[in-house]
């Protein structure tokens, strides 16, 4: 398999890996209504992150298998893995590569305390030599599987302070990575302060000085596709990763204006057919969730409810509809409530 990163149109856009958000149900909806309509060759999907240690335990591996489910429509798709044990990273990446992913990304940016306590995620910023061993282990794992796919890294500008950037990025670019995604905040800052895109310039210099061809992806506070395009142009990064901005907008990676994207208009002007389409897509989203993920398989239906908040807003009757949807336990109940709401709208 060739390096898909080299074939992307620039600037390209990435769906951020978000736990209990970017699962197969959400990705399939985005692939159908967004990615494959206009930007197939410039959109990359990430899975939710999966623990390398867990994939090395037979029982845990079975429980985690849903994270690594994907459909062909989602390509190119990158599996994201985290861990601080090189041996387990090698084994995990061998298994992941055997599943046919287009690439593997190592999470070195997660600020979650339980992840950092393991020395993984953004905890690796404190141990750059171990981080390099983790990247090397990922390559060994891929090679042992017989696959030939690229490795990338997603991280932050530092752990406690921005001054760590030069040292940290300088160590990462010594390794064989095809792409580097930078969340433009420190671990300590979480998402409590604005992302500082001015750091992109310095990171580009570090990559250039390394003499390597490493694609740079900026991440943080991207509102919509137009904002992503303007940030790529202004700061000169190769791609932009979007997280929270994608919520509730199955058309995110297209030029289509829907609901909250219609600027300067009150909610009274939002067309009923646009609202109908969006709510029908929400039904479809929950149906895929039920089929692929709903317990007793993997997840509780409550996971879907964060999507309800994102899909159902900024239109007359949204609050009342959302309250009813929060009481549901499956896609059939969601379908009945939405159909009743749409019937009353006619």
For residue 315, list its beta bridge partners. Answer: none
Residue 198, judged by CB atoms within 10 A of its CB (0-12, 13-18, 19+), counts as exposed
Q: Tell me which residue of 114, 82, 85, 71 sits closest to 288, measured CA to CA.
A: 71
For residue 183, say whether it is annotated as part of any ligand binding site: yes
CB count in 10 Å sphere of residue 100: 14
243 annotated ligand binder: yes
The answer to whether 287 is annotated as binding is no
244 is in an annotated binding site: yes
154 assigned ligand-binding residue: yes
**How far is it, in rounded angstroms, from Cα 89 to Cα 105?**
11
Q: Give dist(CA 156, CA 145) in Å, integer.
A: 30
Q: Which helix (H) or strand (E) holds 44?
A: strand 43-51
Is-catalytic flag, 237? no
**14, 56, 93, 110: the active-site residue:** 110
Beta-carbon count within 10 A of 226 CB? 11
SS3 of residue 243 by DSSP: coil
Q: 93 Cβ partners below 8 Å, 6+ apart? A: 52, 81, 104, 137, 138, 139, 140, 141, 142, 145
Instruction: Answer yes or no: are the C-beta atoms of 27 and 253 closer than 8 Å.
Output: no
Assign 3-state DSSP to the chain and report helix, strand, coil percentages, each to 5.
Answer: 50, 15, 35
CB 99, CB 141: distance < 8 Å:
no
Assess contact for 312 and 321: CB atoms under 8 A. yes
Instruction: State the catalytic residues.
Output: 110
| Residues tagged in the binding site annotation for FMN | 80, 154, 183, 243-244
| Residues tagged in the binding site annotation | 80, 154, 183, 243-244
């Amino acid at each position: 398999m060739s390096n898909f990163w080299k074939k992307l149109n620039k600037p390209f856009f990435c769906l951020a890996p978000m736990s209990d958000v970017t699962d197969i149900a959400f990705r399939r909806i985005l692939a159908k209504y967004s990615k494959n309509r206009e930007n197939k060759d410039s959109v990359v999907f990430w899975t939710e992150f999966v623990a390398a240690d867990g994939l090395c335990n037979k029982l845990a591996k079975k429980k985690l298998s849903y994270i690594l489910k994907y459909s062909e429509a989602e390509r190119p798709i990158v599996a994201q893995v985290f861990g601080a044990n090189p041996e387990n990273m090698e084994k995990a990446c061998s298994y992941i590569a055997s599943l046919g992913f287009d690439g593997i990304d190592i999470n070195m940016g997660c600020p979650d305390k339980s992840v950092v306590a393991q020395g993984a995620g953004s905890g690796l910023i404190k141990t750059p030599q171990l981080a390099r061993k983790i990247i090397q282990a990922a390559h060994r794992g891929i090679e042992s599987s017989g696959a030939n796919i690229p490795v990338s890294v997603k991280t932050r500008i530092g752990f406690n302070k921005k001054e760590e950037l030069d040292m940290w990025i300088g160590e990462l670019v010594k390794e064989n990575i095809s792409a580097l995604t930078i969340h433009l905040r420190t671990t300590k800052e979480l998402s409590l302060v604005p992302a500082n895109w001015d750091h992109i310039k310095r990171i580009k210099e570090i990559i250039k000085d390394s003499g390597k061809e490493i694609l740079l992806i900026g991440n943080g506070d991207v509102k919509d596709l137009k904002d992503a395009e303007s940030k790529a142009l202004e700061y000169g990064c190769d791609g932009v990763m979007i997280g929270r901005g994608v919520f509730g907008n199955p058309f995110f990676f297209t030029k289509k204006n829907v609901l909250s994207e219609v600027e300067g208009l009150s909610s009274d002007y939002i067309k009923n057919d646009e609202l109908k389409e969006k709510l029908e897509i929400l039904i479809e989203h929950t149906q895929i969730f039920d089929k692929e993920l709903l317990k007793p398989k993997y997840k509780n239906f409550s996971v879907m409810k964060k999507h309800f908040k994102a899909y159902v807003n900024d239109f007359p009757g949204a609050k009342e509809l959302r309250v009813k949807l929060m009481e549901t336990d499956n896609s059939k109940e969601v379908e009945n409530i939405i159909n009743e709401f749409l019937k009353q709208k006619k």
